[in-house]
Structure 1
Amino acid sequence: MSTDETDGETYTHRPGSIDNEQSDEDPFTEPEPSGFGAQGWVLVAAVVICFLVIPGVIYLFPAAPTQLGWTFFATFLVLPLIPAVLLGVIAVWSMTAAT
C-alpha cells in the first residue's frame, strides 16, 4: 500500500475502487468465450489437410510427382512448401479476420 499526504489528507490506494464511484460491473470478470468461429474451423481444417492428408498422399503415392515430370530433389523441396504456405496464409487471414 502506498500513502501520500497532501493538505492533511491521507490517500490509500485500494485496487478495484475508482474514485469512490460504485460500478455495477466487476472489473475482474472475463468475457464469455465464443468458441472457434468460422476462422478457427478453417484453420483446423487446414492443419488436418497439411499434417494428415498431404503427407498421407505422399506416403501412399510416392511415384506421383515423378509422373508429373518432377525430379526427386525438386519434389522433396517443393512439397513441404505447399502446406507451409497454406498454413501461413490461413493463419494470417484468421488473425486479421478475428480482430
Structure 2
Amino acid sequence: MTVSTTPLKLFYCYAHEDKTLRDELDNHLSLLKRQSQITSWYDRDILPGAKWEKEIDTQLNTAHIILLLVSASFLASDYCYCIEMTKALERHQAGTACGIHPFL
C-alpha cells in the first residue's frame, strides 16, 4: 500500500452568512492541516486585485474534497447553488473529486 505525502485540497463552498460555522469547522480540521493531511481554501483567501470568479473556478476545479455547507442561506444564494454546487456535483459524479454536503 502506498501512502500519499501530498495533502488533499479541501474547498469550502458556503454562504457568507455561515462564515462563523465554516470557521468552527475549519478549527476542527486543524489537526489534519498540522499533520499535512489536508489544506483548505475558501473565498476569503482570494488576494486583493485577483479576479475572484477565476480564482474560485481554479480552486474548485483542483480540489480533492469539496465541502458543500448547505444551509438556507446557501440555497438562497444563486452563486452557491447554481454555480459552485453544480460544478461540485459534476466533479463528484465524474469521480474527479469527493463532494460532501452536510446540512447546517
Instruction: Please classify the TM superposition score into its range, dividing by the shorter chain length.
Output: under 0.3
TM-score of the two chains, using structure 1 as the length reference: 0.27
Asked which structure has the greater RCO (Cα within 8 Å, sep 6+), the reply is 2
TM-score of the two chains, using structure 2 as the length reference: 0.26
Higher CA-based Rg: 1
